[in-house]
Amino acid sequence: MNSVKDFFIKHNLTLKGATIIVGVSGGPDSMALLHALHALYGRSANVIAAHVDHRFRGAQSEEDMRFVQAYCEAEHIKCETAQINVTAYAEKNGLNKQAAARDCRYQFFKEVMSKHQADYLALAHHGDDQVETMLMRLAKGTLGAGLAGMQPVRRFETGQMIRPFLAITKEEILHYCHENALSYRTDESNAKDDYTRNRFRKAVLPFLKQESPDVHKRFQKVSEALTEDEQFLQSLTKEEMNKVITSQSKISVEINSSQLLALPMPLQRRGVQLILNYLYENVPSSFSAHHIQQFLDWADKGGPSGVLDFPKGLKVVKSYQTCLFTFEQWQCKKVPFEYQISGAADETAVLPNGFLIEAKRNAEPLEGHGNSVFITSQDKVRFPLTIRTRKAGDRIKLKGMNGSKKVKDIFIDKKLPLQERDNWPVVTDASGEIIWIPGLKKSIFEDLVIPNSDRIVLQYRQHEKCRGQA
């Protein structure tokens, strides 16, 4: 088949000595692909068939597998098969049958690729499939790389996934089968209207072919142009996101949202997509362009802080100019703590946020530490002191201010990140009066003229073990 030869030449793919895994369902498309690859390259390359019985159709599904095995045995082609209860997998993982079947099928292909250290996984998607895929994604509102449909060549497991039939139609494949007397199996579910793809295939594709018989070639050209545009935009996005991302780990990415929102909108969308691709092993099928736009609108026009839920437990925590994408639930929930300082001796309280509060009796006052140091005495405040997390309604009496101010408002004024507020220490005396918010504000209960013999100096600083880890 000349179109298959042209495919390998166009994409500069070397087949001599290569191992090619061919996904074979038993239908006309995959049987034609297996036959063509074996006929053209069977002597110079190692061609292996891989078939999955999804067990959707009982005995018929197993007959498909036996058919593929028999064909491979007759043609002296190695064949790898698997029978998987996809229905059970779908129920366990909350997926529809088509998504579950794809997951199971591709996992099997990965295992076969790894087993044989294969160079290529060849799939029989053709030009008509490409038209249907692009239209379905357009109807769903897909943006970016997804709108370009299926890629002819992409990385997969130990090698590359290739689709040599994207330039030809279903009709051409059936003609090839007829010319080469190739038998194949027919899946009756492909004729039903239960699946979206089938409806596009029966109602939309015939109309397009009437308007333009070579519509598959036109769509493929559009796909290639969109892919080239996308690659260029992706390179720009990666460059800009290096400035936007402030920190990252395997389960979290923190960004400066104002810098993200200052980028052109195409780069904003792709920037968020890069973050999702990094955090999710596989971006959930439930995720769409709507989610990305929802985040951008929320980051731009929502309140100064809040939490946005994404699929599979991913949360986005916003606090002023910072947005944290995280799977760590503790970063979004209150983690209360409480420690006491008796005032009878030098004491140290190590806090969960990586800081500590040291209390030293009869100490010299520390200069230049601002709100990180609080000076008092047992005559000025009632001991023991309590270091705790904030509570609803907390208020503090500030120096030079009549009345009191909400601790919540101080956090807001200081633009304290939302994920840090529930872990930030508040210091009270024995009566429950808040005397100090370490690092942020001091109360009227500080006294700088206490005699050295009565003075107790409290210092809030980072724990030595945590320095350099931020």
Output the CA torsion sign for 110, 111, 117, 119: negative
Q: How far apart are CA 259 and CA 321, in angstroms?
A: 8
Per-residue 3-state assignment (H helix, E strand, C coil) for the chain: CHHHHHHHHHCCCCCCCCEEEEECCCCHHHHHHHHHHHHHHCCCCEEEEEEEECCCCCHHHHHHHHHHHHHHHHHCCEEEEEECCHHHHHHHHCCCHHHHHHHHHHHHHHHHHHHHCCCEEECCCCHHHHHHHHHHHHHHCCCHHHHHCCCCEEEECCEEEECCCCCCCHHHHHHHHHHCCCCCCCCHHHHCCCCHHHHHHHHHHHHHHHHCCCHHHHHHHHHHHHHHHHHHHHHHHHHHHHHHEEEECCCEEEEEHHHHHCCCHHHHHHHHHHHHHHHCCCCCCCCCHHHHHHHHHHHHHCCCEEEEECHHHCEEEEECCEEEEECCHHHCCCCCCEEEECCCCCEEEECCCCEEEEEEECCCCCCCCHHHEEEECCCCCCCCEEEECCCCCCEECECCCCCCEEHHHHHHHCCCCHHHHCCCCEEECCCCCEEEECCCEEECCCCCCCCCCCCEEEEEEECHHHCCCC
For residue 194, the model assigns a pLDDT of: 67
* Residues paired with residue 207 on neighbouring β-strands, in sequence order: none
149 contacts 219 by C-beta, under 8 angstroms: yes
What are the tokens at 272? 């968020």
For residue 257, the model assigns a pLDDT of: 93
Q: How far apart are CA 264 and CA 262, in angstroms?
A: 7
Over residues 369-406, the pLDDT tens digits come to 789 999 998 888 999 999 998 988 999 999 878 889 99
Q: How far apart are CA 341 and CA 350, in angstroms?
A: 12
* pLDDT higher at 309 or 88: 88
For residue 447, the model assigns a pLDDT of: 83
At 249, the pLDDT band (50, 70, 90 cuts) reads confident
Within 13 A of 330's CA, how many CA atoms are on the CB side? 6
Apex CA 237: angle with CA 231 and CA 239, to 5°?
Answer: 110
Q: How far apart are CA 438 and CA 456, in angstroms?
A: 15
For residue 285, the model assigns a pLDDT of: 61
If one counts every other C-beta atom within 10 angstroms of the C-beta of residue 381, the result is: 23
For residue 468, the model assigns a pLDDT of: 41
Strongest mean pLDDT among 108-112, 142-146, 194-198: 108-112
At 238, the pLDDT band (50, 70, 90 cuts) reads very high
Q: How far apart are CA 443 and CA 272, in angstroms?
A: 42
State the residue for tokens 């009796």: 361
For residue 205, the model assigns a pLDDT of: 92
Residue 390 makes CB contacts below 8 A (sequence gap 6+) with: 407, 408, 411, 421, 422, 424, 426
If one counts every other C-beta atom within 10 angstroms of the C-beta of residue 384, the result is: 14
For residue 306, the model assigns a pLDDT of: 77
Q: Over 80: is that where the pLDDT of 297 sits? A: yes
At 94, the pLDDT band (50, 70, 90 cuts) reads confident
For residue 283, the model assigns a pLDDT of: 72
Q: How far apart are CA 162 and CA 154, in angstroms?
A: 7
* pLDDT higher at 286 or 431: 431
Strongest mean pLDDT among 121-125, 138-142, 465-469: 121-125
Mean pLDDT, residues 57-85 taken together = 94
Over residues 266-294, the pLDDT tens digits come to 999 999 999 998 888 777 766 677 788 88
Percentage, residues of the chain above pLDDT 70: 93
Quick one: which of 329, 343, 317, 308 has its CA closest to 456?
343
At 470, the pLDDT band (50, 70, 90 cuts) reads very low
At 467, the pLDDT band (50, 70, 90 cuts) reads very low
For residue 159, the model assigns a pLDDT of: 94
Q: Over 80: is that where the pLDDT of 438 sits? A: yes
Q: How far apart are CA 440 and CA 87, in angstroms?
A: 57
Instruction: Round the average pLDDT of the chain to a whole number and report it.
Output: 88
Over residues 322-347, the pLDDT tens digits come to 898 988 765 545 557 888 898 888 89
33 contacts 60 by C-beta, under 8 angstroms: no
Q: How far apart are CA 320 and CA 307, in angstroms?
A: 12
Bridge-based pairing of strands 19-23 and 120-122 is parallel
For residue 195, the model assigns a pLDDT of: 75
Residues listed for the chain: 470
Mean pLDDT, residues 96-123 taken together = 94
At 368, the pLDDT band (50, 70, 90 cuts) reads low
Percentage, residues of the chain above pLDDT 90: 58
For residue 464, the model assigns a pLDDT of: 60
Strand order of the β-sheet with 315-319 is 245-248, 252-256, 322-326, 315-319, 305-309
232 contacts 217 by C-beta, under 8 angstroms: no
At 466, the pLDDT band (50, 70, 90 cuts) reads very low
What are the tokens at 67? 């058919």
State the residue for tokens 């050295």: 452
What are the tokens at 173? 């494949």
